Amino acid sequence: MHGARWYGQENETGEKNTIVPCRPSRRGLSIISIIHADHPFAYELTVFPENSSAGIGNRDALRTFIHWLAASTNDGHPGLAALLQEALGQHSIDLDADPPPDQPRFLRFRAPLALLQAGLQHNEGRAQFHGRAAAPLTGLYIAQSSLDELPPPLRRDVPVPALLNRPDVNVYGSSVWLGLEPTYSPWHRDPNPNLLVQLCGRKEVRLLPPRAGEDLKRRALLAGRGGGQLLGLRMAGPETMEGRQREALHEAVWSGPAGTTTTTITKLKIAPGDGLYVPQGWWHSVRSEASMGELNASDDLYLDSLSE
């Protein structure tokens, strides 16, 4: 597995089904990805206030990005600006609200791959002319996009790793995750085991076995709701991506207040070329290690079985 068509990398060893790390100096999407720039994806975007424990404030950077798109001489960019403004409007998000909201807002919408490419281009240009003082666009994420829905040239470039080509393993699905750092997936568990393969950038992971993970979630949501009914969700939903519940879960998982759980949470980091096996039912949260708007990418393979 190498992602060459996505990230402009080359498999120098010539081996098949291997992982070639993303080079920091070549983090933009490749020319072959640009050819498929009109292909639609399901995006997620989290709009953070300036003072948030769960993410870096990005309202001003998002407003600047939309203005940059609207004024661009690229034929497709003004349309992307209109698409973003429409998505924000549908979720009643006003970037010019005064005073601004004090809680993160989460939205989902469909847009072409060109939007992510434009975000990378925008961030690279601002860093070049303004240095680290320029706030990059962050929080834009193509999350859990099925590889079966990709154009064949891109789909073929993310094959099943050779280590899973075994009679006792059935890979029933695979999805790609692409985003502008920081990227974040909240505390959740999956119905089947899966293998997370890191392609570009680095990620931090927190994991707990089923019972301890459920206990952490219940305590965090109770604290975030101030009492009341608890939600028995297995997969991550919008209610865990914004507002006080997001803040409470993020703090419990990543800051670890005393008394949240009696089991020590597993903490680890994965780099390009690493694969992480997540057993069935284990709770986990994943976030990028960096937060300056660069590309972070991974592939998640869903397994029916795997001998442990």
**What's the one-letter identity of residue 86?**
E
pLDDT in tens, 188-200: 999 889 999 998 9
Average pLDDT, the chain: 80
Contact at 8 Å (CB) between 190 and 280? yes
Contact at 8 Å (CB) between 193 and 278? yes
- Direct distance between the N- and C-terminal alpha carbons of the chain, in angstroms, rounded to an integer: 22
Q: Which of 226, 218, 219, 210 is nearest to 284 (CA)?
A: 210
The per-residue pLDDT for 228 is 46
Q: Are strands 203-208 and 171-180 parallel, antiparallel or unpaired?
A: unpaired
User: pLDDT: is 132 or 90 the higher one?
Assistant: 90
pTM: 0.81
As given in the structure block, the two tokens for residue 260 are: 């949240």
Q: Long-range contacts for 80-86 (Cβ within 8 Å, ≥24 apart)?
A: 80/111, 80/112, 80/114, 80/115, 80/118, 83/109, 83/111, 83/115, 84/111, 84/115
**Range 74-96 average pLDDT:** 94
Give the separation between CA 135 and CA 117, rounded to whole angstroms: 17
23-32, 49-58, 126-135, 207-216, range with greatest mean pLDDT: 207-216
Contact at 8 Å (CB) between 186 and 246? yes
17-31, 132-146, 225-239, range with greatest mean pLDDT: 132-146
Give the separation between CA 224 and CA 237, rounded to whole angstroms: 15
Tell me the HSE value of 242 on the side-chain side, using a 13 A CA sphere: 18
As given in the structure block, the two tokens for residue 82 are: 């209109």
Domains annotated for the chain, with CATH where assigned, are: 4-303 (2.60.120)
As given in the structure block, the two tokens for residue 97 are: 């609200």
E strand residue ranges, the chain: 40-47, 105-112, 140-146, 171-180, 184-189, 194-200, 203-208, 266-270, 275-278, 283-288, 295-303
Instruction: Give the range among 89-93, 115-119, 290-294 with minimum mean pLDDT.
Output: 290-294
Residue 287 has pLDDT above 50, yes or no: yes
The per-residue pLDDT for 78 is 97
The per-residue pLDDT for 164 is 82
43-57, 74-88, 236-250, range with greatest mean pLDDT: 74-88
pLDDT band at 235 (very low <50, low <70, confident <90, very high): very low
